[in-house]
Structure 1
Amino acid sequence: MTSPRSDHPTPPSGGGPGEPQYADRVYRSMAGMVGGAGLVAIACWLGGDAIAKGKGHTPWLAIAALLLALPLIVALTLRPAVFANSDRIRVRNPFRTITVPWTGVDAVRSSYSTELLAGGRKYQLWAIPVSLRARKRAAKQDARSKAAGDDAFTPGGLRPAPGRRPAVPGADPTIRAWSDQALSELRELHERREGEAVADSAATAPVVRWCWEVLAPATAGAIVLIVLLAIG
């Protein structure tokens, strides 16, 4: 299960004149966040017990192991997110953050993983994992919904089928998996800005920032752990 995006209006913060302004749409994996929170709790429980009750080098080994494990757990489960608005997309992966204006994006696509193509390079969107099971489940739900819609009206009068939701005018009524719905929204944002003339090509290049707040403590923890294991 994955979390829905957040899309709450905020005061204007740039963009085209006359266009409504919104906060970033945020996409995260709820399964990853729940699993990450559980792993953090287990690591802290085991590590804290070893620090409190361990003897000899055990407390120091536990501290080094926590210094290595906790940043990696957070990076792989809680950190990934995709932030998108009408101007740009920001992809927060475990160890890097990639920021690209929509005018510099070549494509957003999905096969066995969700990918962003920009500046001649490919970046995976860790926060939007592809689930083949979710796709099959959504396809079955869509088929059932369409089948119910065919019989939604009886000859005696207009009677909506039980549980049928009213369609939003102009919206695609197809039921999709969460990852496919998120990808559809990102493609829509991209298509709005696609083809715009850009004076400075350097302004559309992806900006990549390494997540040193994760890499630095994890590296330090690994070094300390290796040294402690080496000296016995």
Structure 2
Amino acid sequence: MDSPEQPTAEPVHADRVYRSHSGIATGVLLLAFTGWIGGDALLRGAGLTPWVALAGLLVLVPLIVAFTLRPAVFANDDRLRIRNPFRTIVLPWRTVAEVRAAYSSEVLTEDGAKYQLWAVPVSLRQRKSAARRRSRAIAAGDPAATRPGGAAAGGTPPVASGDRTIAELRGLSEQAGHRPAAAGEPRVRWAYEIAGPVVVGAVALVVLLAVG
């Protein structure tokens, strides 16, 4: 006698990844500049200068990485993972009360906690530009421009990129309400790999400057 078929779990799509390309570019440039200045001090400096440079690099490099290269948002059918400069927050969708963007992008949970999305910057300039494009498209009679997230004439979305990302995340949150796998407890992990070198470098820098 055949055994009854077991229900299969709904497939979970791969994570959507959201990052700030301008932040990444800025981080790469800052790291290159910091490496050039710090490396020159390490190789050519005299006395305590190389040690001060090394301590300074221990402080600056992790901070640059934390605020430019590290921030990212990962979202799938079941949960939202927010990688901010010093914390990683995992939120099952059923714990999320609201995803919104005013002057910054943020997530509110059912228990009242609020987390910023560093990787999704809000640009007022982009909003104004998108509003002008939408107005021009509506005046030109483009029906797509009147729909949220619709494309204006020429295929350019009349929505700022940050607001479009927030709309996508809000849609995932709304669709996950029926999924048992989207339940659970929020989890927060501190980025000790960032904070550790910064603290060590700061202490070393204070000591070196004090004895120098």
Deviations 1:20-76 (A, max 9, x none): x42111111111111111000000000000011100000000000001100000001
Deviations 1:81-129 (A, max 9, x none): 0000000000000000000110111111111111111232100000001
Structure 1, unmatched stretches of 5+, are: 1-14, 152-162, 166-172
Question: Corresponding residue for 1:129?
Answer: 121
Instruction: Report whether the alignment pairs 1:43 with 2:26.
Output: no
Question: Corresponding residue for 1:191?
Answer: 174
Of 61, 64, 81, the match for 1:90: 81
Of 161, 169, 175, the match for 2:158: 175
TM-score w.r.t. length of structure 2 = 0.86
SS at match of 1:164: helix
> Could you tell me how far 1:141 is from its partner in structure 2?
1.3
Letter in 1 for 2:160: A
> Could you tell me how far 1:148 is from its partner in structure 2?
2.7
Q: Partners of 1:150 and 1:178 in 2: how far apart?
A: 20
Q: Partners of 2:142 and 2:115 in 1: how far apart?
A: 42
| Deviant stretches of 4+, over 3 Å | 196-199
Of 155, 161, 164, the match for 2:154: 164
Question: Corresponding residue for 1:140?
Answer: 132
Q: Partners of 2:36 and 2:126 in 1: how far apart?
A: 33
SS at match of 2:63: helix
Question: Corresponding residue for 1:217?
Answer: 197
- Cα distance 1:105–1:66, how it changes in 2: closer, same or farther (>3 A)? same
Q: Partners of 2:179 and 2:24 in 1: how far apart?
A: 39
Indicate if the aligned counterparts of 1:134 and 1:177 stay in contact, CA closer than 8 A.
Answer: yes
- Cα distance 1:150–1:59, how it changes in 2: closer, same or farther (>3 A)? closer
TM-score w.r.t. length of structure 1 = 0.78
Of 175, 178, 187, the match for 1:207: 187
Letter in 1 for 2:50: P
Q: Partners of 1:192 and 1:150 in 2: how far apart?
A: 29
Structure 2, unmatched stretches of 5+, are: 1-7, 144-152
Q: CA RMSD in A?
A: 2.2
- Cα distance 1:209–1:147, how it changes in 2: closer, same or farther (>3 A)? same
Q: Partners of 1:136 and 1:89 in 2: how far apart?
A: 28
Q: Percent identity?
A: 53
Q: Partners of 1:68 and 1:174 in 2: how far apart?
A: 41
Question: Corresponding residue for 1:149?
Answer: 141
Letter in 2 for 1:206: P
> Could you tell me how far 1:174 is from its partner in structure 2?
6.1
